Amino acid sequence: MTTLSSVSYQTNEFGVDYIQINNNHAKAEICLYGGHVTRFTPKTDNRERLWVSPNSLRDASRPIRGGVPICWPWFGDFKRSPLFLASEHQNATFPAHGFLRTQNWSVESVTENTNGTSLSLKPNTTTGIGFSHKAEVIFVVTVGRELTLDLITKNTGDAPLTYSCALHTYFAVDDISQTRLSGLSGGYLDKTRGFNQFETPNNYQFTSETDRVHLCTAETVTINHGFETGVNSYGHDSLVVWNPWAENSTSMQDMTDDGYQSMLCVETAITQLPGRMLAPGELHSLRQVIT
């Protein structure tokens, strides 16, 4: 495994492997279970951009609650995904958000230059119940003044494939009740109201459970919480905004009762039917850049 001065490898008490990156620009951490980025702290302000629940399990028994879960080859509920209708297993039980976030990943390459450190990660397999296509997935994490995440899917088969996906990023906020989003517009589908469509509010605040798929391909969304966290998206067809609020936070074992107050998910995603189609040999990157 390539070693560079800015990269070190550790194993936690449960035998789960982590990568620590510490270069001139930032510190970051990636858990190889799930290819899961768990920390990004730029050295310009030493403010952690990502949120991870203190109750998150770290034993690879379920996805880490926080950081950047990788949702692939579907986002959300399989039965609402582009894959469901073509599936031969329509009565089977499918994991939410696909099966890459519960796999062990490996490091394909590590490179470093004055702009930062780039790591290419690959999952153990890209086949699983609900998805039998031949595909290659590479997740490229670039740690610099910004955190750049590229989820690249390549169709390595001889037939078209269709998928959905998301970079399901949990952002740290000082206080959700004092947090505002800017940059979103147009309609959104509200999971808390039967996936009916509503209009994005101008003054986007949070006062209750929020679970929205914005049919918006805005490149820049800003999380204003006394500080401005930038979320830049590319190759997406939607942006998902989620905060579980108090009742769900209390009921979720890997959340603390007040956990919802210090986090907000803004997810760069492909969620809309008919899904993203790739012709044989074609590849597509879903990119999120965090500033």
**Sites of contact with ligand TA6 (CB under 6 A):** 63, 69, 76, 96-97, 168, 191, 211, 240, 242, 265, 267
Q: Residues 25, 36, 97, 168: which is the catalytic one?
A: 168
- In the complex with ligand TA6, which residue's Cβ is closer, 42 or 51? 51
Residue 168 burial (CB < 10 Å; 0-12/13-18/19+)?
buried
- In the complex with ligand TA6, which residue's Cβ is closer, 62 or 134? 62
Residues 6+ apart with CB under 8 A from 56: 64, 65, 66, 254
Query: First and final CA of the chain: distance in angstroms?
Result: 29
DSSP sequence for 204-230: B--SS-EEEEE----SEEEEESSSEEE
284 is catalytic: no
The total number of residues written for the chain in this structure: 291
Residue 17 burial (CB < 10 Å; 0-12/13-18/19+)?
middle
168 is catalytic: yes
- In the complex with ligand TA6, which residue's Cβ is closer, 97 or 276? 97
- In the complex with ligand TA6, which residue's Cβ is closer, 153 or 243? 243
- In the complex with ligand TA6, which residue's Cβ is closer, 115 or 272? 272
* Cα 4-59-169 angle, rounded to 5 deg: 70
- Please tell me the number of Cα atoms within 13 Å of 118 on its side-chain side: 13
Q: Please give the Cα distance from 86 to 54 (Å, whole number).
A: 39
Least distance (Å) between residue 145 CB and ligand TA6? 27
SS3 call for 131: strand
Q: Which of these, 1, 39, 2, 47, lies nearest to 22 by C-alpha position? A: 39
Least distance (Å) between residue 246 CB and ligand TA6? 15
Least distance (Å) between residue 65 CB and ligand TA6? 7
Least distance (Å) between residue 240 CB and ligand TA6? 5
Q: Residues 25, 214, 236, 267: which is the catalytic one?
A: 267
Least distance (Å) between residue 96 CB and ligand TA6? 4
The residues carrying an active-site annotation are 168, 267
